[in-house]
């Protein structure tokens, strides 16, 4: 995060913050980004399309706000919707800049996703993505890409694999991060789920994420907490999900050392 903020305040040309850190969706934040094996299709469109094989939500919207130590506000909002095994989603991240580059910078990810069941315990998914980067000097640029995902289940264990930006696309002669994630989930009981996720990217330290989910009130109220560690960068997060009738409300809070606290809220409509 400190690298991202430094890039914002020093040079707009260095901004690929959202492309490096995917996980602004509230449940992803709650679990320290270790969310890949959680079984919710509309949320999963933001981090693994394989879960569209078992759709749960119909629509998910969220907003995430961050603030730098200098007071610069970064807003992130997203929307996902699905029909059967297909999903469409977008995420926009932006901030208003002042000074040498007065105006608004923005980054976006737009995806058409599909998930399919291979067997009762194995699922795959694909996302056709378009990345956008815009800044005051040169306007907006776009680049296409593809992601692939797998999910597997065995007894109380869940396994996930996600390959982001498989063709190694670039944007304005800057490489969009290409990386692989592997995830493990263990359902100790109906009350508890433990999550672990590892991300590997060329020339970058390995990113480790650990999360825990507690089902307090029979799928009506769940609380989650998580830790993400990468080199000298650590994120700590927690939050809750409240389900009532066909509506699900998610809230998360993110703690990054030496940075102001950030918040995210999401709203999902379920069948």
Cβ pair 147, 168 in contact under 8 A: no
Q: Which long-range contacts (CB under 8 A, 24 or more apart) does 225-228 make?
A: 225/30, 225/31, 225/32, 226/29, 226/30, 226/31, 226/32, 226/33, 226/34, 226/195, 227/32, 228/32, 228/33, 228/34
Distance separating alpha carbons of residues 74 and 188, to the nearest angstrom: 37
Q: Which of 6-20, 106-120, 171-185, 236-250 has the lowest mean pLDDT?
A: 6-20
Categorise residue 218: left if φ over 0, alpha if ψ from -120 to 50, beta otherwise. left
Helix (H, G, I), strand (E, B) or coil at 256: coil
The average confidence (pLDDT) of the chain is 84
Mean pLDDT on 223-239: 93
Its pTM stands at: 0.85
User: 113 pLDDT band (50/70/90 cuts)?
Assistant: very high
């Amino acid at each position: 995060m400190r690298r991202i903020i430094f890039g914002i305040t020093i040079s707009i040309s260095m901004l690929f913050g959202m492309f490096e850190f995917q996980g602004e969706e509230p449940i992803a934040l709650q679990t320290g980004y270790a969310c890949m094996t959680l079984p919710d299709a509309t949320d999963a469109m933001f981090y693994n399309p394989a879960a569209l094989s078992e759709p749960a939500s119909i629509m998910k919207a969220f907003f995430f706000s961050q603030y730098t130590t200098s007071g610069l506000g970064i807003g992130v909002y997203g929307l996902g919707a699905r029909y059967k095994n297909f999903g469409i989603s977008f995420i926009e991240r932006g901030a208003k800049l002042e000074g040498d580059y007065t105006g608004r910078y923005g980054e976006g990810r737009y995806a058409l996703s599909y998930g399919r069941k291979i067997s009762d315990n194995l699922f795959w998914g694909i996302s056709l993505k378009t990345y956008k980067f815009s800044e005051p000097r040169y306007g907006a640029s776009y680049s296409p890409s593809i992601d692939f995902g797998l999910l597997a289940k065995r007894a109380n264990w869940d396994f996930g694999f996600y390959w982001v930006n498989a063709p190694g696309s670039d944007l304005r002669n800057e490489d969009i991060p290409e990386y692989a994630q592997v995830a493990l989930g263990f359902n100790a009981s109906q009350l508890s789920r433990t999550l672990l996720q590892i991300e590997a990217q060329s020339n970058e330290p390995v990113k480790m994420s650990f999360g825990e989910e507690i089902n307090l009130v029979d799928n009506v109220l769940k609380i989650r907490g998580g830790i993400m560690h990468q080199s000298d960068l650590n994120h700590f997060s927690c939050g809750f999900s409240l389900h009532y009738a066909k509506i699900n409300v998610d809230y998360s809070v993110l703690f990054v050392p030496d940075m102001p606290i950030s918040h995210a809220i999401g709203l999902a409509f379920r069948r």
